[in-house]
């Protein structure tokens, strides 16, 4: 009898957990218009284009919460109907990408070249922004070094590349 009760309790617990997971809200599809600098174009070896983009303060995560995104270099899968004609590495651009958390990916859906003299803000956020540091001893902190920040950025790019589709069609 004890074995049946334990099995029943376990089965009920698993069903309850599954129901909770199904009720977890998924992020909606979001569309972002962003500016950045082209780092690389799609190639036979890599179907994604790489862009160092400005910060996206309105970026919404999978839970639907506004978390923002700092300036970073990211791979972008390019929609098949997007022309990259005239776009070269180093060009300042404005592009639109769609983030679809339900499909688990994102895609660049349009891009235009900006004038060469366009000034982009590609600086990393100051870790002290938004804090009152009056009388604060910064020696008590261990702020990340540039090398650590670079390693973390590389890890984010690798994670984004793994999430991005690996195919690219051109017209």
Residue 114 · residue 105 · CB < 8 Å: no
CATH code at 29-113: 2.40.50.320
Write b or e for each residue in 19-32: b if 16 or more Cβ atoms lie within 10 A of its Cβ, otherwise e. eeeeeeeeeeebeb
Q: How far apart are CA 23 and CA 155, in angstroms?
A: 31
What is the tens place of the pLDDT at every residue in 125-148?
665 554 444 444 444 444 444 445
pLDDT band at 5 (very low <50, low <70, confident <90, very high): low
- 48 DSSP 8-state letter: S
Q: What residues contact residue 91 under an 8 Å CB cut-off, 6+ apart? A: 37, 38, 113, 114, 116
* Alpha helices for the chain (secondary structure H): 2-23, 146-163
What is the tens place of the pLDDT at every residue in 63-105?
999 999 999 999 999 999 999 999 999 999 999 999 999 888 9
What is the tens place of the pLDDT at every residue in 19-55?
444 443 456 899 999 999 999 999 999 999 999 999 9
By C-alpha distance, which of 78, 86, 103, 96 is closest to 171?
A: 78
């Amino acid at each position: 009898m004890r074995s049946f009760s334990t099995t029943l309790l376990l089965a009920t617990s698993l069903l309850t957990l599954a129901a909770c997971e199904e009720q977890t809200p998924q992020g909606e599809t979001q569309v972002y218009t962003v500016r950045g600098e082209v780092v690389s174009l799609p190639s036979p070896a890599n179907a994604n284009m790489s862009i160092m983009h400005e910060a996206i303060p309105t970026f919404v995560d999978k839970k639907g919460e506004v978390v923002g995104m700092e300036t970073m270099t990211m791979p972008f899968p390019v929609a098949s109907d997007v022309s990259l004609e005239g776009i070269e590495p180093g060009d300042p651009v404005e592009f639109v990408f769609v983030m679809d958390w339900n499909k688990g990916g994102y895609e660049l859906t349009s891009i235009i070249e900006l004038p060469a003299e366009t000034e982009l803000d590609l600086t990393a956020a100051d870790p002290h922004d938004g804090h009152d540091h009056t009388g604060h001893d910064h020696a008590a902190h261990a702020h990340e070094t540039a090398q650590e920040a670079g390693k973390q950025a590389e890890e984010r790019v690798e994670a984004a590349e793994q999430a991005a589709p690996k195919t690219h069609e051109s017209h």
